[in-house]
Amino acid sequence: MAKTPANKNDNIKDGRFEETLWDAANKLRGSVESSEYKHIVLSLIFLKFISDTFEQQRQKLIDTGYEKHIDMVQAYTKDNVFYLPEESRWSFIQQNAKQEDIALKIDTALSTIEKTNQSLKGALPDNYFSRLGLTASKLAALIDVVNNIDTVGNPEEDTVGRVYEYFLGKFAATEGKGGGEFYTPKSVVNLIAEMLEPYQGKIYDPCCGSGGMFVQSIKFIESHHGNTKDVSIYGQEYTSTTYKLAKMNLAIRGISSNLGDVAADTFFKDQHEDLKADFIMANPPFNQKDWRASDELVDDPRWAGYPTPPTGNANYAWILHMISKLSEHGTAGFVLANGSMSTASGGEDKIRQQIIENDLVDCMIALPGQLFYTTQIPVCLWFISKDKQAKSADSKAKGLRNRSGETLFIDARAIGSMISRTNKELTKDDIEAIAKTYHAWRGEAEAGGYEAYADEAGYCKSASLDDIKANDYVLTPGRYVGAAAIEDDGIPFETKMLELSQTLYKQMRESENLDATIRQNLEVLGYGE
């Protein structure tokens, strides 16, 4: 009996498809650097996706009697679909996949798409495939694999988004340290989103990488039956290639955003100078050195009221930048290296003290190690709030209590599950438990209100400003939560000690007998003392 061909959607469901695609990308090895894989593969996936949505919209126009409009740009853009001239469509690329000039045809397709759709300006690789020097056969093989993606078959599946996430994670895991510049582990992003609950308002990420924070914010809203049109997305990214990845990543999901006109340094070319965000979500570069010269940005308005951040580490420059961008009721959640909680280098302790005395620190979370693909540096989450007094309409609507002079500390270092030999992730239950602790502490009714919160030794502690002063303004959760209580099994100490000593003596006797046997055997063999 002939073997029934595997359904491509079945491969997607069981995860084999992503692996197949990854294997296809690996066939490029030796032709291009591994760091280039993502731009090659993700650009082709993007091209396939927007072409499929275009063809779907085109067929819809024909089926509904609007065939005369099939070449009108507006007939597509009104439904958030990109219009594609014939030479930019996937069918054209596929038909010409075996041609020697296929790289040029792909570049032409991407360039034409960008020129035809204003929202994609600066998003797509420029003359990229022609410069790679890939053989037509290798490129054709990759096109064949990408062609098997059914990007529009099941709108609920978010196939393309899933493939993007898989690849970004894979690339981060294989590229070494540089990958961490654009990829934050999904579970960490999920935790920040669950903590902040970005339902409505302006969301900002000053170092947005490939746009993972924004994607997860939208997913959070959708999963909680909110309206994605109630949020506006603002971001900025320094690296040009990553900036393009972000624009593509958001475009394939239909997320409109303002990422600035170009890739640029947030400190030296802030493209959102007047922005006041309701939510900030970020994973700034860890311990960034030499981010400014000693005579640069000394009197920058973003550090007004604070000492100037030192040149040797940008951590506190990022913190102050984000504080300056918060609206009067805004909340920020961001990842930093653990050192940020206790360092005194370059006057960072003075900046931290001022932030604490200004009563901006809402919550601190120590995360478990091994969460990141690209670094073993222990990390933490900071949550900054401009409205701890709960005076804003938003705070009142949520039923938040006045938390002035209080900071919640959570030690989550013992939480999480290993997903590989080297990497850990926070499970859905872990994320829900941590977020619920925070929401209950804030007084949210949906989390049971403040009555549902209680300090738990070894895990969480609501500390006062005086407590933090007594600890020299150090924000390390372990300083405050203490050690978890050891469960009493009811067995008296004397009984336990007697049992343990008897076991120990027994093991010592067994050891002596074993030593004697080994000596005897050595003597028999002629190797005695």
Any idea how long the chain is? 529
Contact 410, 366 (CB under 8 A): yes
pLDDT over 90 (residue 151):
no
Q: How high is the pLDDT of residue 168? A: 67
Domains and CATH numbers, the chain: 8-157 (1.20.1260.30), 175-481 (3.40.50.150)
Q: What is the pLDDT of residue 267?
A: 97
- Window from 92-106, 170-184, 423-437, 465-479 with minimum mean pLDDT: 170-184
CA neighbours closer than 13 Å in the CB half-sphere of residue 471: 19
Identify each DSSP E strand in 147-265 by its residue range: 201-205, 231-235
Strands 361-366 and 201-205: what pairing? Answer: unpaired
Q: What gap in Å lies between CA 467 and CA 406, rounded to an integer?
A: 9
Q: What is the dihedral angle through the alpha carbons of 160, 279, 266, 47, rounded to the nearest 10 degrees?
A: 10
Report the predicted TM-score, pTM, of the whole model to 2 decimal places. Answer: 0.81
Q: What is the pairing mode between strands 406-411 and 417-418?
A: unpaired
Is 178's pLDDT higher than 60? no
Segment (H or E) for 461:
strand 460-464
Interval 308-344: pLDDT, tens: 999 999 999 999 999 999 999 999 999 999 999 999 9
E strands of 73-142, at which residues? Answer: none
Quickly state the pLDDT bin for 9 (edges 50, 70, 90): very low
Q: What is the dihedral of CA 254, 256, 261, 263, to 10 degrees?
A: -60
Kindly state the tokens that stand for 279: 């939510």
pLDDT at 42: 82
Of 255, 256, 33, nearest to 134 (Cα)?
A: 33
Higher pLDDT among residues 105 and 167, named by residue: 105
Residue 326: φ, ψ to 5°? -80, 140
Strand ranges, E, within 156-303: 201-205, 231-235, 277-282
Distance of CA 173 to CAs 26, 31, 373, 374, 408, Å?
14, 20, 5, 6, 33
Q: How far is 109 from 115, CA to CA, in rounded Å?
A: 10
How many C-beta neighbours within 10 Å does residue 177 have?
11
pLDDT > 90: what percent of the chain? Answer: 53
Q: Identify which of 256-260, 273-277, 444-448 has the greatest average pLDDT.
A: 273-277
The three-class DSSP label of residue 66 is coil
